[in-house]
Structure 1
Protein backbone atom coordinates (compact mmCIF):
# COMPACT_ATOMS: atom_id res chain seq x y z
CA UNK A 1 0.00 0.00 0.00
CA UNK A 2 1.33 3.43 -0.94
CA UNK A 3 0.40 7.00 0.00
CA UNK A 4 -0.18 10.36 -1.63
CA UNK A 5 0.33 13.28 0.74
CA UNK A 6 -1.48 16.59 0.35
CA UNK A 7 -1.45 19.46 2.83
CA UNK A 8 -0.53 17.15 5.68
CA UNK A 9 -3.19 14.55 4.86
CA UNK A 10 -2.01 11.06 3.86
CA UNK A 11 -4.16 9.20 1.34
CA UNK A 12 -3.53 5.46 1.21
CA UNK A 13 -3.98 3.90 -2.23
CA UNK A 14 -3.52 0.69 -4.20
CA UNK A 15 -2.49 0.81 -7.88
CA UNK A 16 -2.94 -2.36 -9.93
CA UNK A 17 -2.80 -3.36 -13.56
CA UNK A 18 -1.14 -1.58 -16.46
CA UNK A 19 0.47 1.80 -16.35
CA UNK A 20 -2.04 3.53 -18.62
CA UNK A 21 -2.23 7.29 -18.37
CA UNK A 22 -2.12 10.43 -20.48
CA UNK A 23 -1.30 9.73 -24.08
CA UNK A 24 -0.80 5.99 -23.61
CA UNK A 25 -2.69 3.40 -25.68
CA UNK A 26 -5.39 1.16 -24.25
CA UNK A 27 -8.28 1.68 -21.90
CA UNK A 28 -8.22 4.79 -19.70
CA UNK A 29 -7.38 4.03 -16.05
CA UNK A 30 -10.21 3.68 -13.53
CA UNK A 31 -10.15 5.41 -10.15
CA UNK A 32 -12.50 3.86 -7.55
CA UNK A 33 -14.00 6.04 -4.80
CA UNK A 34 -15.73 4.29 -1.87
CA UNK A 35 -18.66 5.56 0.17
CA UNK A 36 -19.05 6.96 3.67
CA UNK A 37 -17.46 4.91 6.48
CA UNK A 38 -16.06 2.49 3.89
CA UNK A 39 -12.61 1.59 2.62
CA UNK A 40 -10.86 0.82 -0.65
CA UNK A 41 -11.01 -2.95 -0.03
CA UNK A 42 -14.74 -2.81 -0.76
CA UNK A 43 -13.84 -2.69 -4.45
CA UNK A 44 -11.79 -5.90 -4.56
CA UNK A 45 -14.37 -8.08 -6.34
CA UNK A 46 -15.17 -5.44 -8.96
CA UNK A 47 -11.51 -4.48 -9.34
CA UNK A 48 -10.57 -8.04 -10.30
CA UNK A 49 -13.14 -7.97 -13.11
CA UNK A 50 -11.92 -4.58 -14.34
CA UNK A 51 -8.30 -5.77 -14.24
CA UNK A 52 -9.27 -8.78 -16.35
CA UNK A 53 -10.60 -6.31 -18.94
CA UNK A 54 -7.15 -4.74 -19.17
CA UNK A 55 -7.76 -1.59 -17.12
CA UNK A 56 -5.31 -0.01 -14.74
CA UNK A 57 -7.32 0.16 -11.49
CA UNK A 58 -6.55 2.51 -8.60
CA UNK A 59 -8.48 2.72 -5.33
CA UNK A 60 -7.81 4.88 -2.29
CA UNK A 61 -9.09 5.41 1.23
CA UNK A 62 -10.79 8.79 1.46
CA UNK A 63 -9.63 11.23 4.12
CA UNK A 64 -11.03 10.21 7.50
CA UNK A 65 -11.26 6.56 6.40
CA UNK A 66 -9.26 3.34 6.47
CA UNK A 67 -5.49 3.75 6.32
CA UNK A 68 -5.67 7.43 5.36
CA UNK A 69 -5.46 10.28 7.89
CA UNK A 70 -8.23 9.52 10.37
CA UNK A 71 -8.96 13.00 11.71
CA UNK A 72 -8.14 15.58 9.03
CA UNK A 73 -8.98 19.19 9.87
CA UNK A 74 -11.17 19.62 6.79
CA UNK A 75 -13.94 17.22 5.71
CA UNK A 76 -15.62 19.51 3.19
CA UNK A 77 -16.69 18.40 -0.24
CA UNK A 78 -14.06 20.71 -1.75
CA UNK A 79 -11.29 19.04 0.27
CA UNK A 80 -12.38 15.62 -0.99
CA UNK A 81 -12.33 16.86 -4.58
CA UNK A 82 -8.81 18.21 -4.07
CA UNK A 83 -7.80 14.77 -2.76
CA UNK A 84 -9.15 13.04 -5.87
CA UNK A 85 -7.29 15.51 -8.09
CA UNK A 86 -4.09 14.97 -6.07
CA UNK A 87 -4.29 11.20 -6.61
CA UNK A 88 -5.03 11.60 -10.33
CA UNK A 89 -2.08 13.93 -10.83
CA UNK A 90 0.38 12.12 -8.57
CA UNK A 91 -0.22 8.83 -10.37
CA UNK A 92 -0.54 10.40 -13.85
CA UNK A 93 -3.99 8.86 -14.37
CA UNK A 94 -5.56 11.51 -16.59
CA UNK A 95 -7.68 11.12 -18.57
CA UNK A 96 -9.31 8.85 -15.98
CA UNK A 97 -12.65 7.12 -15.57
CA UNK A 98 -14.06 7.91 -12.13
CA UNK A 99 -16.24 5.18 -10.61
CA UNK A 100 -17.71 6.12 -7.24
CA UNK A 101 -20.39 4.78 -4.91
CA UNK A 102 -22.58 6.88 -2.61
CA UNK A 103 -20.47 9.71 -1.08
CA UNK A 104 -17.54 8.60 -3.23
CA UNK A 105 -19.76 8.97 -6.29
CA UNK A 106 -20.66 12.46 -5.16
CA UNK A 107 -16.96 13.31 -4.92
CA UNK A 108 -16.47 11.88 -8.42
CA UNK A 109 -19.32 14.02 -9.77
CA UNK A 110 -17.89 17.21 -8.27
CA UNK A 111 -14.40 16.34 -9.53
CA UNK A 112 -15.67 15.84 -13.08
CA UNK A 113 -17.55 19.15 -12.92
CA UNK A 114 -14.57 21.13 -11.64
CA UNK A 115 -11.80 19.41 -13.66
CA UNK A 116 -13.19 18.25 -17.01
CA UNK A 117 -9.68 18.00 -18.47
CA UNK A 118 -8.83 15.19 -16.04
CA UNK A 119 -11.90 12.99 -16.50
CA UNK A 120 -12.61 10.67 -19.42
CA UNK A 121 -15.88 9.17 -18.18
CA UNK A 122 -17.97 9.00 -15.01
CA UNK A 123 -19.80 6.08 -13.38
CA UNK A 124 -21.99 6.98 -10.40
CA UNK A 125 -23.32 4.15 -8.23
CA UNK A 126 -26.22 5.17 -5.99
CA UNK A 127 -24.98 8.75 -6.16
CA UNK A 128 -26.35 11.95 -7.62
CA UNK A 129 -26.73 15.71 -7.15
CA UNK A 130 -30.06 15.72 -5.34
CA UNK A 131 -30.68 17.40 -2.01
CA UNK A 132 -30.71 19.04 0.40
CA UNK A 133 -31.32 16.40 3.08
CA UNK A 134 -31.55 18.11 6.50
CA UNK A 135 -31.96 14.78 8.32
CA UNK A 136 -28.80 13.21 6.91
CA UNK A 137 -26.29 14.10 9.67
CA UNK A 138 -28.64 12.74 12.34
CA UNK A 139 -29.28 9.60 10.29
CA UNK A 140 -25.56 8.99 9.86
CA UNK A 141 -24.85 9.59 13.53
CA UNK A 142 -27.62 7.20 14.59
CA UNK A 143 -26.39 4.58 12.11
CA UNK A 144 -22.86 4.69 13.49
CA UNK A 145 -24.14 4.68 17.07
CA UNK A 146 -25.90 1.43 16.22
CA UNK A 147 -22.64 -0.41 15.47
CA UNK A 148 -22.16 -2.79 18.46
CA UNK A 149 -18.40 -2.29 18.60
CA UNK A 150 -16.11 -3.78 19.52
CA UNK A 151 -17.08 -6.93 17.67
CA UNK A 152 -15.71 -10.10 19.19
CA UNK A 153 -14.80 -11.55 15.79
CA UNK A 154 -14.86 -10.79 12.09
CA UNK A 155 -17.62 -13.38 11.73
CA UNK A 156 -19.77 -11.43 14.18
CA UNK A 157 -19.06 -8.22 12.26
CA UNK A 158 -19.88 -9.85 8.95
CA UNK A 159 -23.18 -11.07 10.33
CA UNK A 160 -24.03 -7.56 11.53
CA UNK A 161 -23.07 -5.76 8.32
CA UNK A 162 -24.26 -8.45 5.93
CA UNK A 163 -21.04 -8.42 3.91
CA UNK A 164 -17.49 -9.52 4.64
CA UNK A 165 -16.02 -6.45 2.91
CA UNK A 166 -17.42 -4.19 5.61
CA UNK A 167 -15.95 -6.46 8.27
CA UNK A 168 -12.53 -6.26 6.60
CA UNK A 169 -12.63 -2.51 7.09
CA UNK A 170 -12.45 -2.85 10.88
CA UNK A 171 -9.41 -2.37 13.10
CA UNK A 172 -8.30 -5.23 15.38
CA UNK A 173 -7.41 -4.24 18.94
CA UNK A 174 -6.86 -6.37 22.09
CA UNK A 175 -10.54 -6.11 23.08
CA UNK A 176 -11.98 -6.85 19.62
CA UNK A 177 -12.71 -5.24 16.27
CA UNK A 178 -13.37 -1.49 16.12
CA UNK A 179 -14.48 0.97 13.44
CA UNK A 180 -11.68 2.71 11.56
CA UNK A 181 -13.74 5.90 11.36
CA UNK A 182 -14.85 8.41 13.98
CA UNK A 183 -18.48 9.42 14.36
CA UNK A 184 -17.91 13.18 14.38
CA UNK A 185 -15.71 13.01 11.28
CA UNK A 186 -18.32 11.02 9.37
CA UNK A 187 -21.08 13.44 10.36
CA UNK A 188 -18.87 16.33 9.22
CA UNK A 189 -18.37 14.57 5.89
CA UNK A 190 -22.10 14.84 5.08
CA UNK A 191 -22.77 18.24 6.63
CA UNK A 192 -22.94 20.08 3.30
CA UNK A 193 -25.32 17.51 1.81
CA UNK A 194 -27.79 18.46 4.53
CA UNK A 195 -28.03 22.02 3.21
CA UNK A 196 -27.08 21.90 -0.48
CA UNK A 197 -28.15 20.41 -3.79
CA UNK A 198 -25.61 20.06 -6.60
CA UNK A 199 -27.60 20.31 -9.81
CA UNK A 200 -25.49 23.23 -11.05
CA UNK A 201 -22.36 21.08 -10.76
CA UNK A 202 -24.14 18.18 -12.46
CA UNK A 203 -24.98 20.36 -15.45
CA UNK A 204 -21.31 21.36 -15.75
CA UNK A 205 -20.18 17.75 -16.20
CA UNK A 206 -19.26 17.21 -19.86
CA UNK A 207 -17.97 13.64 -20.00
CA UNK A 208 -20.12 10.57 -20.77
CA UNK A 209 -21.81 9.35 -17.59
CA UNK A 210 -23.44 6.14 -16.41
CA UNK A 211 -25.79 6.43 -13.43
CA UNK A 212 -26.35 3.12 -11.62
CA UNK A 213 -29.13 2.48 -9.14
CA UNK A 214 -29.75 -0.68 -7.13
CA UNK A 215 -33.28 -2.02 -7.59
CA UNK A 216 -33.56 -2.05 -3.78
CA UNK A 217 -31.27 0.93 -3.22
CA UNK A 218 -31.82 4.27 -1.54
CA UNK A 219 -31.34 6.59 -4.52
CA UNK A 220 -34.72 8.17 -5.43
CA UNK A 221 -36.08 7.15 -8.83
CA UNK A 222 -37.08 10.78 -9.43
CA UNK A 223 -33.45 11.84 -9.10
CA UNK A 224 -32.23 9.25 -11.61
CA UNK A 225 -34.97 10.36 -14.01
CA UNK A 226 -34.05 14.04 -13.70
CA UNK A 227 -30.32 13.52 -14.23
CA UNK A 228 -30.49 12.60 -17.98
CA UNK A 229 -33.18 15.24 -18.50
CA UNK A 230 -30.72 17.89 -17.30
CA UNK A 231 -27.89 16.48 -19.42
CA UNK A 232 -29.53 14.94 -22.48
CA UNK A 233 -27.36 12.83 -24.75
CA UNK A 234 -24.50 12.31 -22.29
CA UNK A 235 -26.13 10.28 -19.52
CA UNK A 236 -27.10 6.61 -19.44
CA UNK A 237 -29.02 4.82 -16.69
CA UNK A 238 -28.76 1.26 -15.38
CA UNK A 239 -30.76 -0.48 -12.65
CA UNK A 240 -29.04 -3.51 -11.10
CA UNK A 241 -31.46 -6.24 -9.97
CA UNK A 242 -31.20 -7.69 -6.47
CA UNK A 243 -28.93 -4.88 -5.29
CA UNK A 244 -29.38 -2.43 -2.45
CA UNK A 245 -27.28 0.69 -1.79
CA UNK A 246 -23.99 -1.25 -1.88
CA UNK A 247 -24.40 -2.38 -5.48
CA UNK A 248 -20.67 -3.13 -5.79
CA UNK A 249 -20.92 -5.59 -2.91
CA UNK A 250 -24.36 -7.06 -3.63
CA UNK A 251 -23.90 -7.60 -7.37
CA UNK A 252 -20.30 -6.95 -8.50
CA UNK A 253 -20.64 -9.07 -11.67
CA UNK A 254 -23.79 -7.26 -12.78
CA UNK A 255 -22.26 -3.88 -11.99
CA UNK A 256 -19.19 -4.86 -13.98
CA UNK A 257 -21.33 -5.88 -16.96
CA UNK A 258 -23.12 -2.52 -16.93
CA UNK A 259 -19.85 -0.61 -16.58
CA UNK A 260 -18.14 -2.64 -19.32
CA UNK A 261 -21.02 -2.07 -21.76
CA UNK A 262 -20.91 1.66 -21.04
CA UNK A 263 -17.14 1.93 -21.38
CA UNK A 264 -17.17 -0.06 -24.62
CA UNK A 265 -19.28 2.71 -26.14
CA UNK A 266 -16.97 5.51 -25.01
CA UNK A 267 -14.29 6.55 -27.47
CA UNK A 268 -10.65 6.10 -26.55
CA UNK A 269 -8.61 8.99 -25.15
CA UNK A 270 -7.02 9.91 -28.48
CA UNK A 271 -10.27 10.45 -30.32
CA UNK A 272 -12.94 11.52 -27.92
CA UNK A 273 -12.53 15.29 -28.23
Structure 2
Protein backbone atom coordinates (compact mmCIF):
# COMPACT_ATOMS: atom_id res chain seq x y z
CA UNK A 1 0.00 0.00 0.00
CA UNK A 2 1.39 3.37 -1.00
CA UNK A 3 1.85 5.75 1.94
CA UNK A 4 1.68 9.53 1.95
CA UNK A 5 3.45 11.86 4.33
CA UNK A 6 0.91 12.89 6.96
CA UNK A 7 3.44 14.83 9.01
CA UNK A 8 3.70 17.81 6.67
CA UNK A 9 2.57 21.09 8.21
CA UNK A 10 -0.40 23.12 7.11
CA UNK A 11 0.94 25.88 4.88
CA UNK A 12 -2.09 28.10 4.38
CA UNK A 13 -3.84 30.79 6.37
CA UNK A 14 -5.43 29.48 9.56
CA UNK A 15 -8.92 30.82 10.23
CA UNK A 16 -11.31 30.36 13.15
CA UNK A 17 -15.04 30.58 12.46
CA UNK A 18 -17.07 31.19 15.63
CA UNK A 19 -20.56 29.70 15.93
CA UNK A 20 -21.94 30.23 19.40
CA UNK A 21 -19.88 28.08 21.77
CA UNK A 22 -18.15 26.26 18.90
CA UNK A 23 -15.12 27.26 16.85
CA UNK A 24 -14.55 25.71 13.42
CA UNK A 25 -10.96 25.57 12.24
CA UNK A 26 -10.38 26.31 8.55
CA UNK A 27 -7.15 26.40 6.56
CA UNK A 28 -7.25 28.51 3.41
CA UNK A 29 -4.58 27.09 1.12
CA UNK A 30 -5.42 29.66 -1.58
CA UNK A 31 -4.81 28.42 -5.12
CA UNK A 32 -5.96 29.37 -8.59
CA UNK A 33 -9.65 29.06 -9.32
CA UNK A 34 -13.06 28.80 -7.68
CA UNK A 35 -13.38 27.74 -4.03
CA UNK A 36 -13.38 24.06 -3.11
CA UNK A 37 -13.99 22.70 0.40
CA UNK A 38 -12.59 19.35 1.53
CA UNK A 39 -14.43 17.50 4.31
CA UNK A 40 -12.89 14.56 6.20
CA UNK A 41 -14.62 11.54 7.69
CA UNK A 42 -15.48 10.48 11.23
CA UNK A 43 -12.59 10.58 13.73
CA UNK A 44 -10.37 12.18 11.09
CA UNK A 45 -9.31 15.72 10.43
CA UNK A 46 -8.43 18.00 7.56
CA UNK A 47 -4.85 16.71 7.74
CA UNK A 48 -5.87 13.51 5.94
CA UNK A 49 -7.09 15.64 3.01
CA UNK A 50 -3.78 17.49 2.53
CA UNK A 51 -2.60 15.27 -0.33
CA UNK A 52 -5.92 15.75 -2.14
CA UNK A 53 -5.65 19.49 -1.56
CA UNK A 54 -2.14 19.59 -3.00
CA UNK A 55 -3.37 17.85 -6.15
CA UNK A 56 -6.12 20.44 -6.69
CA UNK A 57 -4.35 23.65 -5.72
CA UNK A 58 -3.48 24.47 -9.33
CA UNK A 59 -7.16 24.66 -10.28
CA UNK A 60 -9.03 25.69 -7.12
CA UNK A 61 -8.86 27.85 -4.03
CA UNK A 62 -8.79 24.98 -1.54
CA UNK A 63 -10.24 25.22 1.95
CA UNK A 64 -9.62 22.51 4.54
CA UNK A 65 -12.22 22.26 7.29
CA UNK A 66 -12.04 20.46 10.64
CA UNK A 67 -15.64 19.55 11.38
CA UNK A 68 -16.91 20.11 14.92
CA UNK A 69 -15.56 17.58 17.42
CA UNK A 70 -12.55 16.89 15.19
CA UNK A 71 -9.04 18.18 14.59
CA UNK A 72 -8.44 21.74 15.75
CA UNK A 73 -12.13 22.63 16.02
CA UNK A 74 -14.04 22.54 19.31
CA UNK A 75 -13.42 19.12 20.83
CA UNK A 76 -16.66 18.61 22.78
CA UNK A 77 -19.55 20.52 21.22
CA UNK A 78 -22.92 20.03 22.87
CA UNK A 79 -24.91 19.88 19.63
CA UNK A 80 -23.90 17.10 17.23
CA UNK A 81 -26.96 17.06 15.00
CA UNK A 82 -26.53 16.86 11.27
CA UNK A 83 -28.19 20.27 11.01
CA UNK A 84 -25.43 22.04 12.92
CA UNK A 85 -22.72 20.33 10.90
CA UNK A 86 -24.41 21.78 7.82
CA UNK A 87 -24.74 25.20 9.45
CA UNK A 88 -21.01 25.14 10.19
CA UNK A 89 -20.15 24.59 6.53
CA UNK A 90 -22.60 27.27 5.42
CA UNK A 91 -20.94 29.69 7.85
CA UNK A 92 -17.50 28.82 6.45
CA UNK A 93 -18.63 29.50 2.89
CA UNK A 94 -20.47 32.70 3.73
CA UNK A 95 -17.62 34.14 5.80
CA UNK A 96 -14.55 32.96 3.89
CA UNK A 97 -15.76 33.10 0.28
CA UNK A 98 -18.88 35.32 0.36
CA UNK A 99 -20.86 35.55 -2.84
CA UNK A 100 -19.16 32.53 -4.45
CA UNK A 101 -20.47 29.06 -5.16
CA UNK A 102 -18.21 26.28 -3.91
CA UNK A 103 -17.33 22.76 -4.88
CA UNK A 104 -17.81 20.40 -1.94
CA UNK A 105 -15.70 17.22 -1.77
CA UNK A 106 -16.22 14.89 1.18
CA UNK A 107 -15.28 11.40 2.31
CA UNK A 108 -17.59 9.17 4.38
CA UNK A 109 -19.15 11.36 7.09
CA UNK A 110 -17.73 14.38 5.26
CA UNK A 111 -19.57 13.30 2.12
CA UNK A 112 -22.76 13.07 4.19
CA UNK A 113 -22.23 16.59 5.53
CA UNK A 114 -21.48 17.86 2.04
CA UNK A 115 -24.62 16.45 0.44
CA UNK A 116 -26.85 17.69 3.26
CA UNK A 117 -25.34 21.15 2.71
CA UNK A 118 -25.78 21.07 -1.06
CA UNK A 119 -29.45 20.07 -1.02
CA UNK A 120 -30.91 23.21 0.60
CA UNK A 121 -28.11 25.60 -0.40
CA UNK A 122 -27.82 25.32 -4.15
CA UNK A 123 -27.07 29.04 -4.08
CA UNK A 124 -23.78 28.28 -2.29
CA UNK A 125 -22.80 24.93 -3.84
CA UNK A 126 -21.75 24.48 -7.45
CA UNK A 127 -20.86 20.78 -7.51
CA UNK A 128 -20.61 17.87 -5.10
CA UNK A 129 -18.24 14.88 -4.87
CA UNK A 130 -18.95 12.06 -2.41
CA UNK A 131 -16.19 9.51 -1.79
CA UNK A 132 -17.45 6.40 0.01
CA UNK A 133 -20.52 8.28 1.18
CA UNK A 134 -24.14 7.16 1.34
CA UNK A 135 -27.50 8.45 2.57
CA UNK A 136 -29.38 5.27 3.54
CA UNK A 137 -28.24 5.29 7.16
CA UNK A 138 -27.89 2.16 9.28
CA UNK A 139 -30.77 0.44 11.04
CA UNK A 140 -28.53 -1.52 13.43
CA UNK A 141 -28.69 0.42 16.73
CA UNK A 142 -25.47 -1.19 17.94
CA UNK A 143 -23.27 0.07 15.10
CA UNK A 144 -22.75 3.53 16.58
CA UNK A 145 -22.18 2.06 20.04
CA UNK A 146 -19.66 -0.39 18.61
CA UNK A 147 -17.66 2.47 17.10
CA UNK A 148 -17.82 4.34 20.37
CA UNK A 149 -16.52 1.29 22.23
CA UNK A 150 -13.68 0.93 19.76
CA UNK A 151 -12.48 4.50 20.18
CA UNK A 152 -12.91 4.25 23.95
CA UNK A 153 -10.70 1.15 23.93
CA UNK A 154 -7.64 3.10 22.80
CA UNK A 155 -5.13 2.92 25.68
CA UNK A 156 -4.46 6.64 25.72
CA UNK A 157 -2.34 8.50 26.29
CA UNK A 158 0.08 6.67 24.03
CA UNK A 159 3.68 6.87 25.20
CA UNK A 160 4.90 7.62 21.67
CA UNK A 161 4.01 7.16 18.00
CA UNK A 162 5.46 3.65 17.88
CA UNK A 163 3.18 2.58 20.72
CA UNK A 164 0.20 4.10 18.95
CA UNK A 165 1.00 2.29 15.70
CA UNK A 166 1.45 -1.01 17.51
CA UNK A 167 -2.07 -0.73 18.90
CA UNK A 168 -3.82 0.87 15.91
CA UNK A 169 -2.44 -1.41 13.23
CA UNK A 170 -1.71 -0.79 9.57
CA UNK A 171 -4.96 0.40 8.00
CA UNK A 172 -4.76 3.39 5.65
CA UNK A 173 -6.26 5.79 8.18
CA UNK A 174 -3.65 5.01 10.86
CA UNK A 175 -1.03 7.36 9.39
CA UNK A 176 -3.53 10.20 9.64
CA UNK A 177 -4.55 9.26 13.18
CA UNK A 178 -0.94 9.10 14.33
CA UNK A 179 0.03 12.36 12.63
CA UNK A 180 -2.91 14.04 14.37
CA UNK A 181 -2.01 12.91 17.90
CA UNK A 182 -1.66 15.83 20.29
CA UNK A 183 1.17 15.93 22.82
CA UNK A 184 0.13 16.32 26.46
CA UNK A 185 1.91 16.07 29.79
CA UNK A 186 1.37 12.30 29.95
CA UNK A 187 1.76 11.34 26.29
CA UNK A 188 -0.09 11.50 22.97
CA UNK A 189 -3.88 11.91 22.78
CA UNK A 190 -6.25 11.76 19.79
CA UNK A 191 -7.94 15.01 18.81
CA UNK A 192 -11.43 13.63 19.43
CA UNK A 193 -13.52 12.07 22.18
CA UNK A 194 -14.96 8.56 21.85
CA UNK A 195 -18.44 9.50 23.06
CA UNK A 196 -18.56 12.48 20.70
CA UNK A 197 -17.74 10.18 17.79
CA UNK A 198 -20.51 7.80 18.82
CA UNK A 199 -23.10 10.57 19.05
CA UNK A 200 -21.94 12.04 15.74
CA UNK A 201 -22.19 8.80 13.76
CA UNK A 202 -25.52 7.94 15.36
CA UNK A 203 -26.98 11.02 13.65
CA UNK A 204 -25.36 10.03 10.33
CA UNK A 205 -27.07 6.63 10.59
CA UNK A 206 -30.52 8.21 10.14
CA UNK A 207 -31.76 7.69 6.53
CA UNK A 208 -31.83 10.81 4.35
CA UNK A 209 -33.47 9.68 1.14
CA UNK A 210 -35.81 12.67 0.87
CA UNK A 211 -32.87 15.07 0.93
CA UNK A 212 -30.97 12.93 -1.57
CA UNK A 213 -33.84 12.84 -4.04
CA UNK A 214 -34.25 16.63 -3.71
CA UNK A 215 -30.57 17.31 -4.47
CA UNK A 216 -30.21 19.46 -7.61
CA UNK A 217 -26.48 20.17 -7.99
CA UNK A 218 -24.20 18.08 -10.22
CA UNK A 219 -22.99 15.14 -8.14
CA UNK A 220 -20.32 12.46 -8.42
CA UNK A 221 -20.41 9.36 -6.20
CA UNK A 222 -17.10 7.49 -5.97
CA UNK A 223 -16.82 4.03 -4.43
CA UNK A 224 -13.74 1.92 -3.68
CA UNK A 225 -13.30 -1.71 -4.65
CA UNK A 226 -12.98 -2.79 -1.00
CA UNK A 227 -15.11 -0.02 0.42
CA UNK A 228 -17.94 -0.02 2.93
CA UNK A 229 -20.95 -0.42 0.65
CA UNK A 230 -22.46 -3.39 -1.16
CA UNK A 231 -23.34 -3.39 -4.85
CA UNK A 232 -27.01 -3.24 -3.91
CA UNK A 233 -26.43 -0.17 -1.76
CA UNK A 234 -24.47 1.57 -4.52
CA UNK A 235 -27.13 0.72 -7.08
CA UNK A 236 -29.92 2.03 -4.87
CA UNK A 237 -28.16 5.38 -4.46
CA UNK A 238 -28.14 5.85 -8.23
CA UNK A 239 -31.63 4.43 -8.74
CA UNK A 240 -33.02 6.94 -6.27
CA UNK A 241 -31.24 9.81 -8.06
CA UNK A 242 -30.41 8.79 -11.66
CA UNK A 243 -28.73 12.11 -12.45
CA UNK A 244 -25.81 11.12 -10.21
CA UNK A 245 -22.51 10.24 -11.89
CA UNK A 246 -20.90 7.13 -10.44
CA UNK A 247 -17.32 5.87 -10.60
CA UNK A 248 -16.10 2.62 -9.06
CA UNK A 249 -12.38 2.63 -8.32
CA UNK A 250 -10.30 -0.41 -9.26
CA UNK A 251 -8.75 -0.47 -5.78
CA UNK A 252 -8.84 1.10 -2.37
CA UNK A 253 -10.67 0.74 0.93
CA UNK A 254 -13.20 3.02 2.60
CA UNK A 255 -10.23 5.41 2.93
CA UNK A 256 -9.49 5.39 -0.79
CA UNK A 257 -8.29 9.01 -0.65
CA UNK A 258 -5.33 7.51 1.23
CA UNK A 259 -4.77 4.01 -0.17
CA UNK A 260 -5.96 4.50 -3.77
CA UNK A 261 -4.75 8.07 -4.05
CA UNK A 262 -3.50 8.20 -7.68
CA UNK A 263 -6.73 6.71 -9.04
CA UNK A 264 -8.86 8.86 -6.73
CA UNK A 265 -7.14 12.02 -7.97
CA UNK A 266 -7.43 11.02 -11.63
CA UNK A 267 -11.16 10.48 -11.22
CA UNK A 268 -11.61 13.66 -9.21
CA UNK A 269 -9.70 15.89 -11.62
CA UNK A 270 -11.40 14.33 -14.65
CA UNK A 271 -14.86 15.04 -13.28
CA UNK A 272 -14.09 18.51 -11.95
CA UNK A 273 -12.09 19.68 -14.94
CA UNK A 274 -12.58 17.37 -17.92
CA UNK A 275 -10.43 19.55 -20.17
CA UNK A 276 -7.33 18.87 -18.03
CA UNK A 277 -7.34 15.10 -18.59
Q: TM-score, normalised by structure 2?
A: 0.87
Match 2:196 to one of 169, 185, 192: 185
Displacement, 1:10?
A: 0.5
The residue number in structure 2 matching 1:137 is 144
The residue number in structure 2 matching 1:205 is 215
Match 1:33 to one of 21, 39, 42: 39
The residue number in structure 2 matching 1:105 is 111
2:78 & 2:162 partners in 1: Cα distance? 34
1:156 & 1:241 partners in 2: Cα distance? 33
Displacement, 1:68?
A: 0.6
1:123 & 1:260 partners in 2: Cα distance? 11
Tell me if the contact between 2:41 and 2:108 (Cα under 8 Å) persists in the aligned partners. yes
Displacement, 1:146?
A: 3.2
1:148 & 1:244 partners in 2: Cα distance? 25
Q: 5+ unaligned residues in a row in structure 1: which ranges?
A: 21-26, 267-273
- The answer to whether the aligner puts 1:120 opposite 2:130 as a matched pair is no
2:26 & 2:165 partners in 1: Cα distance? 24
Q: 5+ unaligned residues in a row in structure 2: which ranges?
A: 1-13
Kindly tell me the number of residue pairs found equivalent between the two proteins. Answer: 256
The residue number in structure 1 matching 2:89 is 84
Superposition pairs of residues 1-273 of structure 1, within 5 angstroms: 1-18=14-31, 27-52=33-58, 54-92=59-97, 94-133=100-139, 134-158=141-165, 160-162=168-170, 163-194=174-205, 196-232=206-242, 234-265=243-274
Displacement, 1:8?
A: 2.4
Q: TM-score, normalised by structure 1?
A: 0.88
Displacement, 1:242?
A: 2.7
Displacement, 1:161?
A: 4.7
Displacement, 1:29?
A: 1.6
